[in-house]
Structure 1
Amino acid sequence: MTQSNPPIYEVLAIGNAIVDVIAPAADAEIDRLGMAKGGMTLIDTARAHELYDAMGPARELSGGSAANTLAGLAALGATCAFVGQVADDQLGEVFAHDIRAGGIAFETPARGGDLATARCLIFVTPDGQRTMNTYLGASQFLPAAALDDATVASAAVLYLEGYLWDPEEPRQAMRRAIAAARAAGRKVAFTLSDGFVIARHGDDFRALIDAGQIDILFANEHELAALTGIEDFDEGIRHLGGKVPTVVVTRSENGAHAYQGGTHVSVPAEPVAQVVDTTGAGDLFAAGFLFGHVRGLSLETSLKLGAVCAAEIISHYGARPEADLAKLVAPVLG
């Protein structure tokens, strides 16, 4: 079925509604607390309290991978909506306020009960690497009933966060959203998020890809190898590019690549005076690329927009833009 009505939103995203708690930490502290440097680990309530108590002075900022991407998109001027579950508590109010203040539509009702709003405890070492410990709380109980099919169908692109595929309820919600988007003739974009997600649900992702359910796939080079089982980068992106219309792969300081219809384009990373915190780099890269995509720009230009947005994010703490992204990307847009 093809959607005849013009889209209301350029991008609608479904993801974890999380508040980030960010603090600097020495490498020795990472080791002492038994964390895997540079990774993301799901934690329970007890571990969340333990790590929070061990943190130094911290900053609390709204986060969540897909929500960060929308924050970048909205800052660039795109029309966006977010679906995600918060609890009826103080952090839930903070998250809702922040995302709406960014001009993003957010109508998901808060969840009552004992579960708290999700939070990600992020330890940032002097080299800018972030070690994330995520308590999912209420976010992992996003029900399919929270979705409005007509709203999903009203967005040009549905953007899904791989992290949220792990819990059962939101996984079913995202499957429903994919069906609604495809029935409306809209595009579905998916970010793999992390190696642990692929380890648990790689078969699901490969099945979605083989069934032609994904139009745009975002990954980093390690996730690409994990999903395809192919260590050679060029071979891996060509393999995936034969199954997904648009594949976008980031390689940190080595730039980014896109493969579309047999065309392979790459751009270098944008120079950064100092890498302060890599939290959200992939999220904001996706924001820049999707902005270029929904505005009909070329693959190369879209990649450049992603690189500029990622460079802004890693130059400061937190995963939401602090500089004026629209001004930063103006030279790329011409």
Structure 2
Amino acid sequence: MTQYKLSGIGNAVVDVISHANESFLDEMGIEKGIMQLIEQERGEVLYAAMNDRLQTPGGAVANTIAGVGALGLPTAFIGRVHDDALGQFYAKSMQDSGTDFVNAPVVGGELPTSRSMIFVSPDGERSMNTYLGISTELGPQDVPEAVASNSDMIFLEGYLFDKDKGKEAFRQASRLTRAGGGKSGIAISDPFCVDRHRIDFLDMIGNELDYVIGNQ
């Protein structure tokens, strides 16, 4: 009998939400209504400028895993956070929500925990500025055999394909899960991500996965 019904591997991102009016967006140079990837320095500036922040653990696959865990099924999430305030918050929040966060926060190094600053305008529109930080450094060394091989199903996040070490982590997780009798699959995440890695996606989908989630 496996330990987990569903495990996931993906970006561990803290969603940081704050209300902001139009003048604030203009002053801070935030383009309304879109998601922008930003660098570390810009992320620190925006984070410091947010008032009455609401913080919650996020990430595409992480949200799915946490939702399943909240329903009472045994779940685990594989992700990379730094041993800083946001990383400790993320790890504890995932555990508190009912999902095992299986990777200890990383001590040392320069990359902080990933965060997405989300500014909500009075009209309800949201403007996202995301710094991916340490989450994109996830590699095969972060995939515990005891987790992957003891999962009925593992769910992979396509965004991590942007680095070779992410692809290696996926292949390792998939092989371990399937060797243990489980199934592995991927959410291909984004058309631009697919365009960047079409050959690698097709190879992995055709040879190492049992299911694919997409909407096009």
TM-score class, shorter? 0.7 to 0.9
User: Given the alignment, which residue of 30, 41, 46 partners 1:46?
Assistant: 41
1:180 aligns with 2:162: no
Distance 1:107 1:37, change over 3 A: same
Paired residues of 1:152 and 1:180 also in contact (CA < 8 A):
yes
Question: Percent sequence identity over matched residues?
Answer: 39
Contact 2:91 2:105 in 1 (8 A): no
Q: Aligned in 2, Cα 1:196/1:153: closer, same or farther, shift over 3 Å?
A: same
- Residue 202 and residue 37 in structure 1: after superposition, are their counterparts in 2 closer, same or farther (change >3 A)? farther
Match of 1:60 in 2: 55
Q: CA deviation at 1:58?
A: 2.5
Match of 1:250 in 2: none
CA 1:189–1:54 in structure 2 vs 1: closer, same or farther (change >3 Å)?
A: same
Residues 148 and 198 (structure 1 numbering): CA distance in 2 closer, same or farther, change over 3 Å? Answer: same
Give the direction of change, closer, same or farther, for the CA distance of 1:175–1:29 in structure 2 (3 Å limit).
farther
Trace 1:102-251 onto structure 2 (pairs within 5 A): 102-112=97-107, 113-126=109-122, 128-211=124-207, 213-220=208-215, 224=216
Closer/same/farther in 2, CA of residues 175 and 129 from structure 1, 3 Å limit:
farther
Higher relative contact order (CA 8 A, sep 6+): 2
Q: Distance in 2 between matches of 1:97 and 1:23?
A: 22
Once the two structures are TM-superposed, the CA of residue 31 in structure 1 deviates from its matched residue by 6.8
d(CA) in 2 for partners of 1:99, 1:124? 24
Partner SS state of residue 81, structure 2:
coil
How many Å separate the matches in 1 of 2:130 and 2:211?
26
Q: 1:41 to 1:183 in 2, by over 3 A?
A: farther
- 1:83 aligns with one of 75, 78, 82: 78
Bigger radius of gyration, 1 or 2? 1
TM-score (norm 2): 0.86
Any conservation in 1 of the 2:205–2:212 contact (CA below 8 Å)?
Answer: no
Do the aligned residues in 1 keep the contact of 2:72 with 2:98 (CA within 8 Å)? no
Distance 1:114 1:146 in 2: 18
Letter of the 1:193 counterpart: S
Per the TM alignment, residue 55 of structure 1 is displaced from its structure 2 partner at its CA by 4.0
Q: Which residue of 2 aligns with 1:255?
A: none
* Greater displacement, 17-26 / 111-120: 17-26
Amino acid aligned to 1:84? G
Name the CA shift for 1:108/1:129 in 2 (closer, same or farther; >3 Å): same
**1-structure distance, mates of 2:2, 2:98:** 17
Contact 1:22-1:124 at 8 Å conserved across structures: yes
Q: Return closer, same or farther for 1:61/1:192 CA change in 2, 3 Å cut-off.
A: same
Q: 1:89 to 1:53 in 2, by over 3 A?
A: closer
- Unpaired runs of 5+ residues, structure 2, are none
> 1:98 Cα shift?
0.5
State the distance in 2 between where 1:108 and 1:155 align. Answer: 16
Residue-by-residue CA offset, 1:203-235 (whole Å, 9 max, x unaligned): 322222233x33332224xxx2xxxxxxxxxxx
Could you tell me which residue of structure 2 aligns to residue 11 of structure 1? 6
Corresponding letter in the other structure for 1:215: D
Structure 1 residue 63: deviation in Å?
1.4
Q: Which amino acid aligns with 1:98?
A: S
| Aligned equivalents of 1:108, 1:68: Cα separation in 2 | 17
- Distance (Å, rounded) in 1 between the aligned partners of 2:119 and 2:70: 26
C-alpha deviation, 1:92, in angstroms: 1.1
Counterpart amino acid of residue 165 in structure 2: E
Q: How far off its partner does 1:17 sit?
A: 1.6
**How many residues in Structure 1 have an aligned counterpart in Structure 2?**
214
1:126 deviates by 4.8
Aligned-residue Cα RMSD (Å) equals 2.4
Offset, 1:181: 1.9
- TM-score normalised by the chain length of structure 1: 0.58
Deviation, 1:141, is 1.6
